[in-house]
Homo-oligomer: A and B are copies of this chain.
Amino acid sequence: MGTLSTLFSPPPTATSTQIISPQTLSFSFPKSANNNTPTTTNHHHRSRRIQSYKFEIMADSIEEAPRRRTTTTGWAARDSSGVLSPYTYTLRKTGTEDVLIKVLFCGVCHTDLFNVKNHFGITRYPAVPGFVVKIPEGMVLEQAAPLLCAGVTVYSPLSHFGLNKSGVRGGILGLGGVGHMGVKIAKAMGHHVTVISSSDKKKVEAMEHLGADEYLVSSDATRVQEAADSLDYILDTVPAFHPLEPYLSLLGFGGKLILIGASNAPLQFVSPMLLLGRRSIIGSFIGSMKEAEEMLEFCKEKGLSSMIEVIKMDYINTAFQRLENNDVKYRFVVDVAGSELQHQ
């Protein structure tokens, strides 16, 4: 397992193609990172600067890279249809500070879907960022993959805004891949957790399987009114248009509506909903390397795992379709190493 942290450089030889889950990747890292002190690269900021998407990659070996070009195969989207198919390309000639890694598992999330389809209009081909973190001894690798997306996406804002403490009252809006980890992590932090959903379909799941304390149907005006001013934060995982006012009204003084689901549909609010109560709307995107490692330790210590469905690479297009239909509990993980990708 690797102990360094960095962002992958885009493979310069692949062009105009969105690449998902290549089996091998080369990337640069600073020499100082090649020890047990991970570089705390700020993933938020770097991601924005290079306008890239993210996915999770696990490395099983870090070796000094050969000073030659390496041919590898990944599955790539060729256009905004988002359909993936095998794609062979040549990595750049690696230098003295490069390593080659082999990808074992890769989580799949909505951000990948948006990016292969270029929903944000910012997909730059090729763009294959990712990161490698130290996986705690004893953690199952396919479990770690979605934690590095959904887990850290939840953990980062709760940690950063001082909410990692017991007694906090939290809301989880949307019970999907991120939402289900939201309930688990918030409960493990000792929060009183209310799951907020558009229907009561997920009530049993939320209360009995995930351990939520309350379940609120957002269209139930009476109960929403009763719950006014009661929450310290809401993790809003919805990656689509939704009105913000009903959720802002649930927040107490200083309450935070934390947006972690990206959407290019404009969201609206009226300013008095924020002014009267010093409420805020905050965006948070995944998390830093430091937070990712803290989160993995936290999950290991608390015995938390994500609920996943492991698939082979040739199922990816079906998986994307099911993801779009919210038909997954709760995360697909691609068994990249077990998919026997061949050079095509």
What is the interface of chain A, defined by CB distance below 8 A to chain B?
A: 42, 44-45, 47-48, 120, 157, 160, 253, 259-285
Instruction: Pick the most buried of A265, A266, A276, A279: most chain B CB atoms within 10 A of its CB.
Output: A276
Give, as a whole number of angstroms, the nearest-CB distance from A37 to chain B.
22
Instruction: Count the copies.
Output: 2
Let me know if B268 and A275 touch, CB within 8 A: no
Q: Is A253 within 8 A of B45, CB to CB?
A: yes
Contact partner, A283, options B42, B261, B263, B274, Cβ 8 Å: B274
Give the interface centre of A264, A266, A271, A274 by most chain B CB atoms within 10 Å: A271
- Contact: A274 with B253, CB < 8 Å? no
Contact check, B274 vs A259: say whether CB atoms are below 8 A apart: yes
Which residues of B sit under 8 angstroms from A262, Cβ to Cβ? 271-272, 275
Contact between chains at A277 and B120 (CB < 8 Å)? no
Q: Which residue of B lies closest to A266 (CB)?
A: B268
On chain B, the residues within 8 Å of A263 by CB distance are: 270-272
User: Taking A253-B44, A253-B45 as contacts, is the C-beta distance between A274 and B265 under 8 angstroms?
Assistant: no
Docked pose: A203 CA to B274 CA in angstroms: 30
A273 cross-chain contacts in B, Cβ below 8 A: 283
Task: With both chains docked as a complex, state the minimum distance between the C-beta of A273 and any C-beta of chain B, in angstroms.
Answer: 7
Which residues on the B side are within 8 Å of A45 (C-beta)? 253, 277
Whole-angstrom distance between the alpha carbons of A295 and B183 in the complex?
41
Known contacts A42-B253, A45-B253, A266-B269: A260-B275 contact under CB 8 Å: yes
| Residues of the B chain whose Cβ atoms lie less than 8 Å from the Cβ of A283 | 271-280
| Cβ–Cβ contact A274 & B281, under 8 A | yes
Residue of B nearest to A273 (CB): B283
Closest 5 pairs between A and B when the two form their complex, measured CB to CB:
A274-B283, A275-B283, A48-B276, A280-B282, A275-B285
> Which of B253, B271, B279, B280 touches A267 (beta carbons < 8 Å)?
B271
Q: Report chain B residues within 8 Å CB of A275.
A: 259-260, 262, 283-285
Q: A45-B253, A253-B44 are in contact. Are A270 and B278 (CB under 8 A)?
A: no
Measured in the bound complex, the distance between the Cα atoms of B267 and A273 in whole Å is 11
A282–B271 CB distance below 8 A: no
User: Given the complex of chains A and B, what is the CA–CA distance between A279 and B260 in angstroms?
Assistant: 12
